[in-house]
Chains A and B, each alone.
Chain A
Amino acid sequence: GQSLEQPSEVTAVEGAIVQINCTYQTSGFYGLSWYQQHDGGAPTFLSYNALDGLEETGRFSSFLSRSDSYGYLLLQELQMKDSASYFCAVRSRNYGQNFVFGPGTRLSVLP
């Protein structure tokens, strides 16, 4: 089987930096993705890491350590519109190359 763990809630203020962690247990690991979902909206794709290291896309960065079965999403210069749920998702051979999603982290950005 496989499992993913994320903190359930994170709170930060505008302009700050926040890191959302994700740990996973699986075999046949291919990669780790991050998605953002606003209330009532569709999950939207943010990033995909197949190799170790940090990938940066604008204010958002995603990190992966395959040896530690760990990744994180880093959000910089937080804005109110970043308040949303963030899901990590693992792609693995165990699941037919499909993505399995974590429970999600609710990020609240305060003024």
Chain B
Amino acid sequence: ETGVTQTPRHLVMGMTNKKSLKCEQHLGHNAMYWYKQSAKKPLELMFVYNFKEQTENNSVPSRFSPECPNSSHLFLHLHTLQPEDSALYLCASSPGGDTVGQSYGYTFGSGTRLTVV
């Protein structure tokens, strides 16, 4: 497989459930990201990992917990979510490191469509 793969594609969970989203990249990138995409809102950066170290936590509620065991895998653990957390959760990767000024983009996965009931 190539690119960024996210599983599951769709997830419906109750507010008391615990679930995890998985992201895997086969691009040899060193940075991975979680974004939240809600209807009629810009993509919101949630977490950033650079060389397996968390470098950004954008004031995300503690009911979202990221995990990055290695440069190829990223998880988002979910527990006691609220209905307003229903959204498309996108994972992305990039070369990482100090690449300011270099022309590169993020490679996104197709996302997990999460519905909290």
Interface residues of A (CB under 8 A from B): 4, 30-31, 33, 35, 40-46, 48, 50, 87, 89, 91, 95-104
Contacts and interface: CB of A to CB of B under 8 A. Distances in A.
Interface of chain A: mostly helix, strand, loop or mixed: strand
A84 to B, nearest CB: 14
Contacts of A45: 104-107
A102 B45 CA distance: 12
Contact of B110 (A4, A41, A104): A41
Contact of A101 (B42, B98, B111): B42
Contacts of A30: 100-101
Contact of A100 (B4, B45, B55, B107): B45
Interface string B86-117: 00001010000010110111111111000000
A50 B105 CA distance: 12
Interface string B30-54: 0001010000111101001000000
B89 to A, nearest CB: 12
B105 A35 contact: yes
A50 B48 contact: no
Contacts of B45: 95, 98-100
Nearest to B97: A97
B56 A96 contact: yes
Interface in B54-93: 55-56, 90, 92
Given A33-B105, A48-B104, A98-B33, A43 B56 contact: no
